[in-house]
């Protein structure tokens, strides 16, 4: 029997590992946020005083946060493109930018919360404030998870380990886009209505 030195070509999986699992996870998150949003809309339409309570929110902070999240969507797409092109230096740059933008979002959210609580608008201040803290708090928790995932990928990229698993940037990007889409629903519902 003659052995050949012909190497088997690397065949990239049609669906990257973890991607299907993430889609299932995201599908399970839709009823959570969807239920909260639907309850918010139904209760708001059936009672009064919500617009007055919402007028105490800091619209400028929310607008800045919307800009930060939308910009981070762009940087995570650029990180994915760079990882796909095996340009891991650029991928680390865009992953780092995504982490900073997400951290900026949480920092501004903390400022917003502290200002509202200082004025007595706690979750116990009324039904609007209960929904406000539940929806934005749950969203902020998801942002924090995304930051941790992207920070882990950034560390891998800086240390040269991302080349073994570049598809993870795509999976993290899917999660990050979900976080952005949820905010796109929350922003007009809470701050513009």
What mean pLDDT is predicted for residues 19-38? 94
DSSP class of 164: G
Residue 29 and residue 185 in contact, taking contact as beta carbons nearer than 8 Å:
no
Quote the DSSP letter at residue 191.
I
Nearest Cα residue to 57 out of 131, 142, 147, 107: 131
Give the pLDDT confidence score for residue 13 in this predicted structure.
59
pLDDT above 90: residue 186 = yes
Q: Is the pLDDT of residue 173 over 70?
A: yes
pLDDT over threshold 50, residue 5:
no
- Residue 8 has what pLDDT? 45
Q: To the nearest 10°, the Cα dihedral for 7, 13, 16, 21? A: -130
């Amino acid at each position: 029997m003659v052995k050949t030195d012909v190497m088997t070509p690397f065949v990239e999986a049609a669906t990257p590992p973890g991607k299907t699992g993430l889609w299932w996870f995201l599908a399970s998150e839709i009823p959570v946020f969807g239920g909260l949003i639907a309850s918010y809309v139904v209760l708001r339409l059936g009672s009064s005083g919500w617009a007055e309570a919402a007028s105490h929110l800091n619209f400028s902070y929310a607008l800045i946060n919307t800009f930060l999240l939308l910009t981070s969507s762009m940087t995570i797409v650029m990180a994915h493109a760079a990882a796909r092109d095996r340009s891991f230096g650029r991928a680390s740059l865009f992953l780092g930018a995504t982490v900073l933008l997400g951290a900026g979002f949480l920092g501004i959210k903390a400022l917003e919360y502290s200002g509202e609580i200082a004025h007595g608008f706690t979750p116990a201040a009324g039904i609007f404030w209960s929904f406000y803290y539940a929806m934005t708090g749950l969203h902020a928790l998801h942002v924090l998870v995304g930051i941790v995932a992207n920070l882990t990928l950034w560390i891998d990229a800086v240390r040269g380990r991302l080349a073994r698993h570049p598809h993870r940037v795509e999976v993290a990007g899917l999660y990050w886009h979900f976080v952005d889409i949820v905010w796109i629903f929350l922003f007009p519902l809470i701050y513009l209505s």
